[in-house]
Amino acid sequence: MSAATEIAAMQGGTAAGPAGPRLFAAGAAAGMAAHLAAYGEVPRHGRDWSLAEELEASGLTGRGGAGFGAWRKFAAVDHARRPNRYVPRTGGPVLIANGAEGEPLSFKDASLLHNAPHLVIDGLVAAAAELSAGSVFIYAGAANLAPVAAALAERADARHIALVEAPDTFVAGQASAVVNFLETGRALPRDLAARLAGSGFKGRPTLVHNVETWAHTALVARYGAGWFRTAGTPEDPGTRLVSVTGNVPSEVVLEVPGGAPLDSVLASAGVGSDAVSAVLVGGYHGRWVRPDGVVLSAAAAAGSTPAGGAVRPGAGVLHVLGHGRCGLAATAAMVDYLAGQSARQCGPCMFGLPALADVMGRLAAGTGGPGLVREVERLLALVAGRGACHHPDGTVQLVHSALETFADDVRRHLAGQCQEAAPAGGAVR
Amino acid sequence: MDDAMWAFARVSGLLDMVLLTGSVLLGILARSGRPLLAIPRVSVTLLHRNISLLAVVFLVFHVVPLLFDSYAQLNLVDVVVPFLGSYKAFWQGLGTVSLDLMAAVVATALLRRRLGTRTFKAVHWLSYAMWPLAMAHSMGNGTDGTSAPVVAAAIVLGVAVLAAVAWRVSAGFLETAAARRAGNARNGWTRP
Amino acid sequence: MNAGGPAARLHIDWTRCDGRGLCTELLPEALGRDEWGYPVAAPGRVRSGRDATDVPLTGAELAAAMDAENLCPLLALRIIRP
Ligand code: SF4
Ligand code: SF4
């Protein structure tokens, strides 16, 4: 996997931190020596320094998809671990680095674990010290655990970190599924009545972050919030990894600053804007957009219209749909995949997603009647919010954005013509 | 006095045979998720629960008098430990086993919030063992077990339960079976 | 629903619910059934994503909701008080 990096808007930085690429500053497949040469030791901080405060000041958001402030979960676990006379003590907090990356279009976590495993470990070690963690896990697919195991063998301060092999399913990366897998061996999401921060793994306060979030945490622990904010925008500070896939010269992982314009990111992946029909931002649970004028920002409002030209990067996937390709057909295939990936625990997800996939399939094939769009919308409303995990909602978001972005294609499909089949030049943008 | 007690125990036992059967039938109906004609699902569930509790009451009426009966010579140990009785030990033992099963089923049902659905369900399955044991006990142990009206009643109850069980394992059992099958068939899935 | 938010919410644990429809009988105004039998919040009640799983209830429905909580054969319901 290539670790090509690109920091467009980043200037200088502070004296301490790397000024170029952040997460891959130590180069490809960095061992401990290269890692220390690039980043130095984690400094010993004084008593008044706190990682929690530093994280809050940094504005780092989760890089796994949901995009909440990383410090919030950290603070919630910090709060839950403190002795409380109403709650019996259950053992120290549990920290989990989630690299399961069930999203089929994403490979940035794999790339990170292969090239910069020590950063992820550093983040866990720093947080474990501050939170007096009882157990620390790194959860990822078998192929991505090997470099982590090699990295762990190189250092003495991380012997308490356990590696857990994640199953290769879409929902295996949902936070409650991770905890469930560690407890029971079944990577199925749970009904989240109790928050993981308060009562997660075996009832202990549990902090689950994406592996990239942990890597950024390591940098914040080293260089501080001020340095972290020297990249990105005030609303979306720092950098993030994105996996660029689809109709691209070669699939790459890029490191881009917060608030980066989508077309410039695509340009650095070698994709000319005139070759692009639409981009799926955030992966199978993300949304389709037309790229021009759109920026990637974790601060973007939720909802299916990229308000103010900003769209949430979600799991960091940019999937390019080239000109002449049919967005509805691509979406229908994704919904079909997602329906098959339902963990089949929750009725509306287990039956609603296949029904949705069926209708989307007919829409894409151009074999549906005029009532098809209304049926799609009815099913979207029916499954939205009705599951133990985010899977139905993510699917709803994908389909909503497809209906909006490909509205012209929808009309054409209902009239029985598909753009993909039509001769080039007939495409309307 | 003895005779009155004996008669009371006998009648309670026969009544319990009917109540238990009713409870099993209503339980199967409740599991299907279907209403019974004009009786809504909630009421079917409540009926299942209340008739089961009534069956417990009549079981007490059935057993307690026998403790004082000089002929049956039942003692407290015989009530819970099977096959020790002095009178038709085998047939009485079947009754004792089904009493134990019933106690377990009812206790776990009442405590299901605390125990969780897994334990509750597992133990509740024992009802299917309890019912035939209780029936066999009635036939083999009872003074009236061979009288024509009782045999006729037992046959009716038996046929009803067998039919209900056959329906229980049939494909269209759940109220929503058809819609769900259609949902699964669409993607070539079967219910796990 | 009054301005101060719902009197309570009925949380549906979808991993347990099997759509047996007891709750929909007890709370006909708050819950309907979808085509597979699962409870679905009445259209007017869903204002945010959360409302589909934590269904807002009026004060008058609380007693029926407690019955539903007790009678749900799969223990899939829980009342969340504000
Ligand atoms: S919503 Fe779907 S994917 Fe999520 S736990 Fe329920 S059945 Fe599984
Ligand atoms: S009563 Fe329970 S199992 Fe039945 S539909 Fe309601 S929540 Fe689901």
Is the separation of the CB atoms in A184 and A85 below 8 Å?
no
- Provide mean pLDDT across the span A353-360: 90
Beta partners for A278?
Answer: A321
Distance (Å, whole) CA B120 – CA A172: 29
* Span from the CA of C47 to the centroid of ligand 2 (angstroms): 22
Quick: pLDDT tens for A385-398.
898 888 899 999 99
Q: Check which CATH number belongs to the domain holding A207 and give it.
A: 3.40.50.11540
- SS3 state of residue A277: strand
Asked whether residue A233 is domain-assigned, the answer is no
Domain finish residue from A187, A203, A228: A228
Domain finish residue from A304, A322, A340: A322
Which candidate in A351, A359, A383 is best for mutational testing of the B interface (most B CBs within 10 A)?
Answer: A351
Asked whether residue A18 is domain-assigned, the answer is no
ipTM of the shown complex: 0.90
Beta partners for A84?
Answer: A87
Report CB contact under 8 Å: B183, A354: yes
pLDDT(B186) > 70: no
Q: Which of A1, A17, A24 is nearest to A240 (CA)?
A: A24
User: What domains can you pick out in chain C, each with its CATH number?
Assistant: 8-73 (3.30.70.20)
Asked whether residue A17 is domain-assigned, the answer is no
pLDDT of residue A263: 87
pLDDT of residue B141: 76
Is the separation of the CB atoms in A218 and A123 below 8 Å?
yes
pLDDT(A23) > 60: yes
Is the separation of the CB atoms in C9 and C57 below 8 Å?
yes
pLDDT of residue A113: 92
In chain B, residues with a C-beta closer than 8 Å to the C-beta of A358 are 186-187
Whether the CB of A242 sits within 6 Å of ligand 1: no
pLDDT(C68) > 50: yes
Does A350 lie in the same domain as A334? yes
Does A196 lie in the same domain as A166? yes
pLDDT of residue B182: 66
pLDDT(B183) > 70: no
Distance (Å, whole) CA B64 – CA B79: 9
Does A179 lie in the same domain as A66? yes
Q: Check which CATH number belongs to the domain holding A350 and give it.
A: 1.20.1440.230
Quick: pLDDT tens for A173-203.
888 888 888 888 888 888 865 577 666 777 7
Report CB contact under 8 Å: A346, C40: no
Best mutation site among A391, A393, A396, A397 for ligand 1, i.e. most ligand atoms within 8 A of its Cβ? A391
Distance (Å, whole) CA B180 – CA B68: 56
Q: Residue with the nearest Cα to atom 8 of ligand 1?
A: A343
Distance (Å, whole) CA A310 – CA A303: 11
pLDDT-derived band at A426 (thresholds 50, 70, 90) equals: very low
Touching subunits for chain C (3+ Cβ pairs under 8 A):
A, B
Does A364 lie in the same domain as A224? no
Asked whether residue A420 is domain-assigned, the answer is no
Asked whether residue A424 is domain-assigned, the answer is no
Q: Check which CATH number belongs to the domain holding A256 and give it.
A: 3.10.20
pLDDT of residue B184: 58
pLDDT of residue B67: 79
Q: List, in order, residues 6 or more apart from B121 with CB less than 8 Å away.
A: none
Domain finish residue from A297, A322, A347: A322
Does A373 lie in the same domain as A224? no
pLDDT-derived band at A10 (thresholds 50, 70, 90) equals: very low
Q: How many domains does chain A have?
A: 3
Does A260 lie in the same domain as A175? no
pLDDT of residue C11: 93
Q: Does A303 touch chain C (CB under 8 A)?
A: no
Asked whether residue A261 is domain-assigned, the answer is yes
Quick: pLDDT tens for B50-68.
999 999 999 888 888 877 7
pLDDT-derived band at A429 (thresholds 50, 70, 90) equals: very low
Asked whether residue A147 is domain-assigned, the answer is yes
Quick: pLDDT tens for B27-58.
988 888 888 888 888 888 899 999 999 999 99
* Span from the CA of A180 to the centroid of ligand 1 (angstroms): 13
pLDDT of residue C73: 87
Domain range enclosing A142: 23-228
CA A4 to chain centre: 19
- Provide mean pLDDT across the span C1-26: 83
Mean pLDDT of chain A: 82
- Phi then psi for residue B158, to 5 deg, are -60, -45
Distance (Å, whole) CA B138 – CA B101: 16
